[in-house]
A and B are shown apart, each in its own frame.
Chain A
């Protein structure tokens, strides 16, 4: 037992303005959402794993638990549990997001894990930001500046730094996530089972596109490597956009080569991750080839 040693102070603000006050008067703070990531770190207790003297527990801020939707978008507070997102939004949210949440684990875990926490894990990337980037989602940040709490919306893709890590500005709190609820006509998600426990060999891939006649439009491919970061680029998207299916084997090989030349230039990737991505791209091409070849003649 190590009672009394390194016990951080816990702040439990009830509103965002209370949160702003706490941030103004305390330095060296860390934010605590569901705790599913922090509590799995090997040195969380008894050491100073959180690296702070103050923990701000966000679970009691009512504004962060709200969610609402209209015809075009769904907005979730950062403290909405993933389980609640998947169950309440099953009919409206894009299918890849629901299957991403379901791939994370059983309800005991997803009831505690929150959308904000899944985006803001510090030294590892979860599979959620990649899927949200593919869906062109936005986030609202609350930033303490000049003794006031300012609000700013930004696309998630703009918050990914050059190393592929999701980074909020200093002293910022992610307060809401806005997700468009239109269903792209082709969407596919894949994630290895042990994404959190074996990050070196895990990979999550989200792919969305509009399928018009036999041509892909507005394609978006986002690959998440938990240790290295999130890999996406307009160059990759352009490879897939305006492709006419069915593809020949040689065309598939050239797509694959261009894709890997891009990923290898910026990220460290293990042979297993490479094999998984190759198999995913192969499956997508095969499915779209089949779709193109089985289309009624009048549509062709």
Chain B
């Protein structure tokens, strides 16, 4: 099956098995090294990518579903300016707090932190009366959202600290720009 899609800003065309998982397409057809797992749908959470700006587990997306869509992997965070700025915020938060995800889950966790921070900031902007210090995710829903990554290198306390730190750094940056 011929599939055309945009991966990390590049328009690509492949001839693929129609039910090949996206995680294997990225590893085998694009030689991406930042996707380091193919758990065959066991939800290890280490193959997280953005499909049309929504996070998905790439091992659960068949090739025929990516036709005409935009895929953003961690490579975008390294190469594209817009994402690189976001990565800098996250890196700064890791540095400030002295907490870092392990090498296995670094890419997936970073994408997930970025996505959750964007939701938190959007919710703060939607509701001006909403106390900006309050968390739109209660503990239970945060545990649920983070449970997609099975790696145990971070606990909930670390996650909350990091999310809060990224939010502060990002809001400051956006505030400076505007």
Q: Quick one: CB contact mask for A55-66 with B, threshold 8 Å, 1 for yes?
A: 101010000000
B106 close to chain A: CB less than 8 A: no
The CA of A73 and the CA of B172, in the complex, are separated in Å by 47
Which among B15, B19, B56, B59 has the greatest number of chain A C-beta atoms within 10 A? B19
B33 within 8 A of A: no
In the assembled complex, the CB of A141 is this many whole angstroms from the nearest CB of chain B, namely 25
Contact size range, A:
20 to 34
Per-residue contact bits, chain A 1-34, to B (CB 8 Å; 1 contact, 0 not): 1111111111000000000000000000000100
Give, as a whole number of angstroms, the nearest-CB distance from B115 to chain A: 9
Q: Are A105 and B40 in contact (CB under 8 A)?
A: no
Q: Do B18 and A40 touch across chains, with their CB atoms under 8 A apart?
A: no
CB distance from A190 to the nearest CB of B (A): 16
In the complex, B65 has a CB within 8 A of chain A: yes
CA distance A135 to B157 in the complex (A): 39
Contact B19 A7 (CB under 8 A): yes
* Least Cβ–Cβ distance between B22 and chain A, in angstroms: 10
Asked, given contacts A39-B60, A112-B56, A197-B43, whether A44 binds B19 with beta carbons under 8 Å apart, the answer is yes
Contacts of B62 in A (CB 8 A): 32, 35, 39
A-binding segment of B89-97, B124-132, B141-149: B141-149
B22-58 interface with A by 8 A CB criterion: 24, 28-29, 40-43, 48, 54-57
Kindly identify, within residues 102 to 161 of chain A, every residue whose CB is under 8 Å from any CB belonging to chain B.
102, 105-109, 111-112
Known: A59-B65, A105-B148. A45 touches B15 (CB 8 A): no
- Contact in complex: A9, B18 (CB < 8 Å): yes
Which residue in chain A gives the minimum CB-CB distance to B146?
A106
Q: How far is the CB of B166 from chain A (nearest CB, A)?
A: 19
Give the contacting residue for B1; candidates A10, A106, A197; CB below 8 A: A10
B153 interface residue per 8 A CB criterion: no
One digit per residue, 1 when the CB lies within 8 angstroms of any chain B CB and 0 when it does not, for chain A 157-187 equals: 0000000000000000000000000000000
Residue A192 interfacial (CB < 8 Å):
no
- A46 lies within 8 A of chain B by Cβ: yes
Q: Which of B19, B41, B56, B144 contacts A40 (CB 8 A)?
A: B41
Q: Which residues of chain A are near B59, meaning CB under 8 Å?
A: 39
- In the bound complex, do residue A35 and residue B43 qualify as a contact, i.e. CB atoms below 8 Å apart? no
Which of A32, A42, A57, A107: most chain B Cβ within 10 A? A107
Chain B residue, CB-CB nearest to A37: B41
Residues on A with C-beta less than 8 A from B43 are 40, 105, 109, 197
Contact B54 A111 (CB under 8 A): yes
Q: Are A1 and B28 in contact (CB under 8 A)?
A: yes
Return chain B residues, CB-CB under 8 Å to A107. Answer: 145
Contacts of B57 in A (CB 8 A): 108-109
Q: Which residue of A lies closest to B119 (CB)?
A: A107
CA distance A3 to B63 in the complex (A): 12
In the assembly, what is the distance between CA of A253 and CA of B32, in Å? 60
Q: Is A41 an interface residue (CB 8 A)?
A: yes
A36 within 8 A of B: yes
Q: Find chain A residues with CB under 8 A from B54 CB.
A: 111
- The reply to whether B17 and A46 form a contact with Cβ atoms under 8 Å apart is yes
Q: Is A50 at the interface (CB under 8 A from chain B)?
A: yes
**Bound Cα distance from A106 to B24, whole angstroms:** 23
Asked if B64 CB lies within 8 Å of chain A CBs, one says yes
**Pair A35/B61 contact, Cβ less than 8 Å:** yes
Complex Cα spacing A40 to B144, Å: 19
> A35–B66 Cα gap in the complex (Å)?
13
- Given the complex of chains A and B, what is the CA–CA distance between A44 and B18 in angstroms? 11
Task: Assess whether A45 is in contact with B148, with CB atoms less than 8 Å apart.
Answer: no
Distance between Cα atoms of A49 and B17 in the complex (Å): 13
Q: Choose from B17, B48, B60, B64 the contact partner of A3 (Cβ within 8 Å).
A: B17
Measured between beta carbons, the chain A residues less than 8 angstroms from B20 are 3, 45-46
Q: State A106–B65 Cα separation when bound (angstroms).
A: 21
Question: Are the C-beta atoms of A108 and B56 separated by less than 8 Å?
Answer: yes
Interface residues of A (CB under 8 A from B): 1-10, 32, 35-36, 39-42, 44-46, 49-50, 55, 57, 59, 102, 105-109, 111-112, 197
10 A-B pairs with the lowest CB-CB distances in the bound complex, closest first: A40-B41, A7-B17, A39-B60, A10-B64, A39-B41, A106-B148, A106-B145, A10-B18, A106-B144, A7-B18
11 A-B contacts, Cβ less than 8 Å apart? Answer: A1-B29, A3-B15, A6-B17, A8-B19, A10-B18, A32-B62, A35-B61, A44-B41, A46-B17, A108-B57, A108-B148
